[in-house]
Structure 1
Amino acid sequence: MSKHRPNRLAETLKEEISQMILVELKDPRIGFVTVTSVDVANDLAHAKVYVSVMGNEEETKASLDALNRAAGFIRSEIGKRIRLRHAPAIVFVNDPSIQHGAHIAKLLRDVGAADTADEDDSHE
């Protein structure tokens, strides 16, 4: 089977799920969530939805728990919207890459500030 259909479905799922989280899910445990990517199995039966959650570890866990509890609702809505015969089973997984990138950027800013301070001290 070609890889084109799972990739197209993954992009469609990413858009639809992002919209559903933003507009339709009203669970207060769901914080600031961004869908970063979706992996769909070749048989189109399973989808892993990678999300980045802004907040501490406790807020991340609460948001993932709420999203996984809403997975059945999301799956049924996806089936209606995309008109699939069998909508894939959805599992939400934490994607720490955005938080990791922000941490790296902060470290680089700190190093840059320290270098600037060292240069100012050496010129005096």
Structure 2
Amino acid sequence: MVDHPRARKMAERIQQIVAQMLDTRVKDPRLGFVTVTDVRVTGDLQHASVFYTVLGDAAARADSAAALASATGLIRSEVGRQTGIRLTPTLEFIADAVPETAQHLEDALRAAAVRDAEVAALAAAATYAGDADPYKRADDDGDEVGEVGEDAAAGPVGGAHGEPDGEPTDEV
């Protein structure tokens, strides 16, 4: 979606106007505690979607939706008067799903934290099924396989790169 600067500015202005109207001029008793969360305006400035949340239960959300639907004409005329543009955009009020999504994410994070705590408790109390390091084994002469002995320090017969002792070669 292309971001039009004029549409973004208009959306911010419409958000301010609608919030002010809901606070001061709309006197519908069905209107609950409504918060305008976002406004999106099309690129041609003909349509505005107003996203809102309502504090309360499902009945309060339904009553507020009905109050906003009945006050749409009043709010739209005020938007047209205060913005001064030639064609006033149509307003569509959409209940924002952010609180429900946030609650769902909080529940999922809480459940994950409980599972992580259970796994951490099980890991703290866990013991090895066998030895702590099952890969270390003793030789016949008592040395560990991974240890460097005197014979292993000398390396193979000869010096580095397979040269015989004391006779460097010129081959590369």
TM-score range, shorter chain: 0.7 to 0.9
Corresponding position of 1:122: none
Q: How far did 1:55 drift?
A: 1.2
The normalised TM-score by structure 1 is 0.80
Could you say which residue in structure 1 is the equivalent of 2:40?
39
What stretches of structure 1 of length at least 5 have no aligned partner? Answer: 120-124
Where has structure 1 moved over 3 Å in runs of 4 or more? 102-115
Greater relative contact order (CA < 8 Å, ≥ 6 in sequence):
1
Task: Report the counterpart of residue 5 of structure 1 in structure 2.
Answer: 6
Which of structures 1 and 2 has the bigger CA Rg? 2
Q: CA RMSD in A?
A: 2.6
2: CA distance between counterparts of 1:42 and 1:108? Answer: 38
The answer to whether structure 1 residue 97 and structure 2 residue 118 are counterparts is no
Map 1:73-88 to 2 at 5 A: 73-88=74-89
The 1-side partners of 2:92 and 2:82 are apart by 19
> 1:105 deviation in Å?
3.8
Question: SS of the residue aligned with 1:26?
Answer: coil
Shift of 1:99: 3.9
How far has the Cα of 1:100 moved from its partner?
3.2
Give the number of the structure whose residues are more often strand, by fraction: 1
Unaligned runs of 5+ in 2: 122-172
What residue in structure 2 maps to residue 25 of structure 1?
A: 26
TM value normalised by structure 2: 0.60
Counterpart of 1:55? 56
* 1:2 shift after superposition: 7.0
Distance 2:81 2:13 in 1: 13
Distance 1:33 1:103 in 2: 21
Higher helix share: 1
**Pairing 1:70–2:74 present:** no
